[in-house]
Structure 1
Amino acid sequence: MTDDVVSARSGTPADDVARWLAEYDINGLPVVDAEDRVIGVVSATDLKRVRRAPAAEAMLTAGAVMSAPARTVRADDSVVRAARLMSTSGVERLPVVDEEARLVGMITRRDVLQIFARPDADIRNEVADEIVVRALWLSPQSVDVVVHDGVVTLSGHVESSGSVALTVWMTRQVDGVTAVINRLTYQHEDPHRQPA
């Protein structure tokens, strides 16, 4: 995310918002309250919509034209969640907030694409070394990791169903992974594992 964010207050004139969008070459910005909590977002589309309205001659403010509530992601959310929210919402950028909904940054579609543009070899090395061997203490020969266009295929044989679930879950968290195909088999069912 970018932590140097242009934001507006509810009373900021819409003309100032329009000028900032042009000046910083962005298509939207968050609107925050006095405690920096995100209360909405003003996009170029919002500004165009209200300027076409008959009452547009009145002094418009960010609060009057913003879309609310704002779609946001938490700083500790995964990049995958941010990407999915951008896709389902049809937005190019999302405010990033802390646990109290205060603005801490902004993530854009470009930021997300840079993560997902990670080379397959780098993803494979991280999964095979950092997850399989170092985190899960599995033999490197027990799990075969193949990556193609960010899709990770895991195959091999491990001790328990719990090891399978954990391997798949941790692999999904790796930056650049777009999907996981699970072809792992296991020796025995883990009695403590909750049914999926």
Structure 2
Amino acid sequence: MDRRSPHTVDDVMTSTVVAVGMDAQFKEIVTAMKQWHVTAVPVLEGEGHVVGVVSEADLLTKEELRDEEPTMIGQKERLADYAKAGAVTARDLMSSPAVTVPAVATLPQAARLMAQHRVKRLPVVDEQAVLKGIVSRSDLLKVFLRPDADLAAEVRREVVDRFFPVSRAGILVVVEKGCVTLTGSVRDATLIPVAERLTRAVEGVVDVRCDLIAPMAVDVASRQ
């Protein structure tokens, strides 16, 4: 994984993906899900283009409606469900169009997409909409496994060294369990909130305590 923020979906996704074709049979899909311990599979067409997703929910409609006596009103209200209950191939079982995420998307973008569509995983595609991998909620949490030393190094390189080139020697960066503490004196007080915001933006940071001070600004205020 690249040690510089922001990370992209490509950094954390799972590259080995179980997928099925449009003509995959019901039992084939169930078998694949059980064998690979997944709850959904992308459906591919042509040269790996993602056209839909079959999930456990799509498959369970067949069991849910198996012994239900349909009424005219019930069938009309749940037309799509009854169609899936009678489906036997991925073409008719899948939810389409598929909700996918570009490999170059940032992790917050992927997280927002999951929340918006209420899904636990997303197929990852390239610029031609060809399947590259799959990203799950647990994949997005991988950044919080970054070692404290890596986080400290990135904060110092991307925040302290860039914004406080004169004061950097006197700034201490301490990271414990993902929580960053910044202490020391700086010349420009207006950069302190910027430093805190950018430190929070580092992938894997859990929290930030910013104890930076600008003595010159304090002296000027005390004289007024």
Q: What TM-score do you get using the length of structure 1 for normalisation?
A: 0.71
Contact 1:131–1:171 (Cα < 8 Å) also in 2? no
Contact 2:100–2:124 (Cα < 8 Å) also in 1? yes
Change (3 A) 1:59 1:70: closer
Instruction: Give the distance between the partners of 1:170 and 1:101, measured in 2 at CA.
Output: 34
Structure 1 unpaired stretches of 5+: 187-196
Whether 2:104 is the aligned partner of 1:76: answer yes
Identify, as 1 or 2, the structure richer in strand. Answer: 1
> 1:149 offset after TM fit, Å?
5.8
Whether 2:77 is the aligned partner of 1:49: answer no
| Equivalences, count | 185
> 1:126 offset after TM fit, Å?
1.4
* Structure 1 match to 2:152: 124
Instruction: Give the distance between the partners of 1:83 and 1:5, measured in 2 at CA.
Output: 20
* Structure 2 match to 1:93: 121
Whether 2:27 is the aligned partner of 1:15: answer yes
Q: What TM-score do you get using the length of structure 2 for normalisation?
A: 0.63
> 1:2 offset after TM fit, Å?
1.5
Whether 2:153 is the aligned partner of 1:102: answer no
Contact 2:62–2:85 (Cα < 8 Å) also in 1? no
Instruction: Give the distance between the partners of 2:209 and 2:62, measured in 1 at CA.
Output: 47
Letter in 1 for 2:114: M
Instruction: Specify which of 13, 22, 30 is matched with residue 42 of structure 2.
Output: 30
> 1:57 offset after TM fit, Å?
7.2
Provide the identity percentage: 35
Contact 2:163–2:191 (Cα < 8 Å) also in 1? no
Identify, as 1 or 2, the structure richer in helix. Answer: 2
> 1:129 offset after TM fit, Å?
2.6
* Structure 2 match to 1:194: none
User: Considering only CA atoms, is the larger Rg found in Structure 1 or Structure 2?
Assistant: 2
Larger RCO (CA under 8 A, 6+ residues apart): 2
Structure 2 unpaired stretches of 5+: 1-12, 67-81, 215-224
Provide Cα deviations, 1:87-143, integer angstroms capped at 9, x if missing partner: 44332221111122211111122222222233444323211134432x567342576
Match runs of 1:169-188 below 5 Å? 172=201, 174-177=202-205
